[in-house]
Structure 1
Amino acid sequence: MSARTVDFHFDPMCPFAYQTSVWLRRVREQLGIAIDWRFFSLEWVNHVEGKKYPWEREWSYGWSLMRIGALLRRRDMAALDAWYGAIGAELHERGGSPHRREVARRLLDELGFGAATLDSALADPTTHTEVERDHRRVLAAGGFGVPTLFLDGEHCLFGPVLVDPPAGEEAQALWRVVTGMAALPQVFELQRPKSPADTARIAERLTPYVRGRDWVSIDRGRLVDLDGLVNGDTDDRT
């Protein structure tokens, strides 16, 4: 198949979703595909009984950043595009902490949106509703984590999971693999086993993210728990 649009569901705290978004931006530059940015909450899908849901906190790392994104998306998809790019680079490349309110305000100012956008987004209950709607769409399709893609609005795939996003012809080659798998509905999973060397390389690549984050994976509480980081890394506060 030859998809022209991609709905990309992400949680801004997920390092793998961010790397996949970098690849997809490169595909967009080369092939002119359209990306519609959508949300999915790892905090919610991995909720632990007895802890607060993300919307029950005054400020919740990924959920609050996505509510800001929801407000920006109403203005223009390009605004959300820029917001995700900025907070993703801050955490996953520079090891900063965009999930801290003061950093989020700074980034909003740098993008020209104004720091007060944060307050406007959190004061508007419908931004919560928009994040929830995007999240439930993934669940309804049988999804469980990020990145989740909907190609041309219907073909749902989890992944690809990347740590070194390909560029140039390799980016296009991966795009052909992804769209090719979407065209084969009887194929449900294709996975590459991780050798010890692969695990070490992934851990090294995640160093900025580990430095910038303020939480541990709820799955096992280890910093390099690859399955947990893909599907279960979350804001683990009460």
Structure 2
Amino acid sequence: MTDKVDFWFDPLCPWAWMTSRWMEEVESRRDVEVTWRVISLGILNEDNADNHHHGHVESMWLVRVVEAAARAHGDEYRKKLYDAMGTRRHPGGVEDLEQIIAESLEEVGLPAELAAAKDSAELDDALRASTEAAQAVAGQDIGTPCIAVNGVGFFGPVFTPAPKGEDAARVWDGALTLASYPGFYELKRGREKGPDFS
């Protein structure tokens, strides 16, 4: 049976980026069908006094462009733009978000005019609904990434670096085993390393 996976990402989150690379490895080794969806750190942290932190307010720029592209040109552009943006931002180290947006739109063959969506609140209700959908399956106290498998959601997993090959498949099997247990809530240890994109 094919597992239906929803994967919520914010393009600015390095941890979501690494988990998404793991998810790609899983797709090639397990019977899964992934729907890529947007979650916004800006929305998740809008009531936080520290929301001025780079990656919260600015995350709205990228998720607005991603969602506008998907609405205008098809859902597959969520993943295509995420890959283009994330490659520039994370392993590429590009800090200029306007550059990331412009280059990513060009890479995937979308009109440059879509960059204007970064300053428009037109799709913010849709972004809020997508963020709240992640919270509905995984709880209010989550961040990004968030994954749901056949409707059962969880925050993470968080890796550095992301598992590859059969390691990726084994970790997936373990994550599914934990997530499928109704009483399971949390497994965590201290994070002592920053993102490793190797």
TM over 0.5: same fold?
yes
2:196 aligned to 174, 193, 205, which one? 205
Map 1:13-28 onto structure 2 (within 5 A).
Answer: 13-28=12-27
Contact 2:11 2:82 in 1 (8 A): yes
More helix by share: 1
| Matched residue, 2:93 | 95
| Matched residue, 2:126 | 130
Q: Give the AA of the match of 1:130.
A: A
Q: Does 1:65 align with 2:62?
A: yes
Bigger Rg, structure 1 or 2: 1
Contact 2:8 2:146 in 1 (8 A): yes
2:173 aligned to 151, 156, 176, which one? 176
Q: Which runs of 5+ in 1 are unaligned?
A: 53-59, 209-238
Map 1:3-152 onto structure 2 (within 5 A).
Answer: 4-47=3-46, 48-49=48-49, 60-74=57-71, 75-97=73-95, 100-120=97-117, 122-123=119-120, 125=122, 127-141=123-137, 142-143=139-140, 144-152=142-150
Q: TM-score, normalised by structure 1?
A: 0.71
Q: How far apart are the structure 1 equivalents of 2:155 and 2:2?
A: 16
Q: Give the AA of the match of 1:87.
A: M
The Cα shift of 1:30 comes to 2.4
- The alignment covers a number of residue pairs equal to 191
Q: Which runs of 5+ in 2 are unaligned?
A: none
Counterparts in 2 of 1:81 and 1:96: CA distance versus 1, 3 Å: same
Q: TM-score, normalised by structure 2?
A: 0.84
Secondary structure of residue in 2 paired with 1:203: coil
User: Root-mean-square deviation (CA), in Å?
Assistant: 2.6
Counterparts in 2 of 1:26 and 1:50: CA distance versus 1, 3 Å: closer
Return 86-95 or 113-122, whichever deviates more.
113-122
